[in-house]
């Protein structure tokens, strides 16, 4: 078991990473909460597979879990789901010390974390991430929230969990496309912050394309969590170092939105967005083109798309342009872009243009 400490404004907490950690959920929670009622939130895919070990462990430590299983999918990250959970907490007569447990992917943890942040202005919550994305990305940084019809993540709070148990054994049941989506964020972290991890990925890409190789997971999950923990410490609100995590995301978000949410996986869009960022870096004379080609080859070896033509859905350039010009990280009509001057050397520029991004996406 590996442990990574994350320092957030509200508290310092630990992300533990290893196989079969769900069996320790009760012990982990007992360090922060007294025995009694606990609200467990999961989704319809994860619950049937992974609730049993978590519930057994909670009960063994004297907790009385009340489970709410929501439909799987981004649609569940809504105000109406939050309302449903508040009603469950009210029924349970939950007080300031009643904890919430999130068992699932980023949808479940963002939603359950948000409910924990706002119920009685904040109760403790334990994160049990079961997707690669939730382990390496959503579990670090303290962001919680829900979507509105007007846009994703428009309502939220910074409210870190008391602890995160990333049970890598749960990844065995994660669909392959979801695994690869999470892998795109791992590659992002490796390119911008962890040359050692990038070398490991490049040396034997095939072993990282699924959860079958536990040694591969033991390498990539802790390294990614550590790297993200390092840049978010002291920069929760993205004024400084945390901004490098947007590598590939300016073009990526526009592609994801232009395709219509759900048609292209977030990770697939980010992979293509990273290629655009690499191409812009080469065109601006920051990056040698050999590095660009090497990274594109790595993305493909990992089963990730490296061009718009490789995406599962058609994306119109006009729609991408429209979403680029509504990018929330824009400054005075210019785009803030994360470019690359070498592996582990991200560069943030504030003079990006939509045309430049569109040209890079076109090839």
Q: Which residues bind ligand NAD (CB under 6 A)?
A: 43, 45-46, 49, 72-74, 77, 104-108, 110, 130-131, 133-134, 137-138, 141, 143, 153, 170, 173-174, 178, 181
CB–CB of 269/181 below 8 Å? Answer: no
- Please tell me the distance from the alpha carbon of residue 131 to that of residue 329, in angstroms, as a whole number: 27
| Cβ at position 177, least distance to ligand NAD in Å | 9
| Cβ at position 238, least distance to ligand NAD in Å | 11
Token pair for 97: 């010390």
CB–CB of 342/240 below 8 Å? Answer: no
CB–CB of 309/244 below 8 Å? Answer: no
CB–CB of 289/296 below 8 Å? Answer: no
- Please tell me the distance from the alpha carbon of residue 266 to that of residue 269, in angstroms, as a whole number: 5
User: Which residue lies nearer to ligand NAD by CB, 110 or 226?
Assistant: 110
The angle subtended at Cα 192 by Cα 186 and Cα 193, nearest 5°, is 80
Residues contacting 28, CB < 8 A, separation 6+? 16, 126, 163, 165
Cα 116 versus chain centre, distance: 19
User: Cβ–Cβ contacts within 10 Å for residue 284, how many?
Assistant: 16
User: Which residue lies nearer to ligand NAD by CB, 21 or 360?
Assistant: 21
Label each residue of 18-41 as H, E or C.
ECCHHHHHHHHHHCCCCCCEEEEE
User: Which residue lies nearer to ligand NAD by CB, 49 or 202?
Assistant: 49
User: Which residue lies nearer to ligand NAD by CB, 228 or 279?
Assistant: 228
User: Which residue lies nearer to ligand NAD by CB, 119 or 159?
Assistant: 159
| Cβ at position 189, least distance to ligand NAD in Å | 12
- The residues carrying an active-site annotation are 121, 143, 185, 228, 238, 242, 246, 249, 253, 266
User: Which residue lies nearer to ligand NAD by CB, 131 or 281?
Assistant: 131
| Cβ at position 344, least distance to ligand NAD in Å | 22
User: Which residue lies nearer to ligand NAD by CB, 119 or 280?
Assistant: 119
């Amino acid at each position: 078991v590996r442990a990574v400490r994350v320092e957030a404004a509200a508290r310092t907490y630990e992300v533990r990473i290893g196989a079969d950690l769900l069996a320790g959920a009760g012990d982990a929670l007992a360090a922060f909460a007294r025995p009694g009622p606990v609200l467990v939130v999961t989704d319809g895919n994860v619950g049937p597979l992974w609730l049993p070990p978590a519930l057994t462990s909670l009960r063994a430590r004297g907790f009385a879990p009340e489970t709410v299983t929501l439909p799987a999918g981004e649609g569940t990250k809504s105000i109406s789901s939050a309302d449903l959970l508040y009603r469950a907490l009210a029924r349970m007569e939950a007080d300031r010390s009643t904890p919430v447990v999130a068992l699932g992917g980023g949808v479940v943890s963002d939603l359950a974390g948000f409910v924990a942040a706002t119920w009685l202005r904040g109760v403790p919550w334990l994160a049990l991430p079961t997707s690669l994305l939730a382990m390496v990305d959503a579990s670090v940084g303290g962001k919680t929230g829900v979507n509105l019809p007007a846009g994703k993540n428009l309502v939220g709070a910074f409210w870190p969990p008391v602890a995160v148990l990333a049970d890598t054994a749960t990844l065995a049941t994660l669909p392959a496309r979801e695994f690869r989506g999470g892998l795109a964020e791992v590659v992002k972290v490796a390119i911008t912050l962890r040359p050692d991890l990038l070398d490991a990925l490049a040396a034997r890409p095939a072993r990282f394309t699924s959860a079958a190789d536990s040694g591969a997971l033991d390498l990539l999950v802790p390294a990614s969590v550590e790297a993200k923990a390092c840049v978010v410490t002291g920069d929760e609100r993205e004024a400084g170092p945390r901004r490098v995590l947007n590598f590939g995301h300016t073009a990526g978000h526009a592609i994801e939105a232009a395709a219509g949410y759900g048609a292209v996986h977030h990770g697939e869009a980010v992979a293509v967005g990273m290629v655009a960022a690499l191409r812009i870096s080469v065109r601006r004379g920051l990056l040698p083109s050999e590095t660009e080609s090497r990274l594109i080859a790595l993305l493909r070896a990992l089963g990730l798309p490296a061009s718009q033509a490789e995406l599962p859905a058609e994306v119109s350039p006009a729609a991408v342009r429209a979403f680029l010009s509504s990018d929330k990280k824009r400054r005075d009509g210019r785009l803030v872009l994360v470019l690359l001057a070498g592996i582990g050397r991200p560069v943030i520029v504030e003079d990006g243009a939509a045309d430049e991004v569109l040209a890079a996406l076109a090839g």
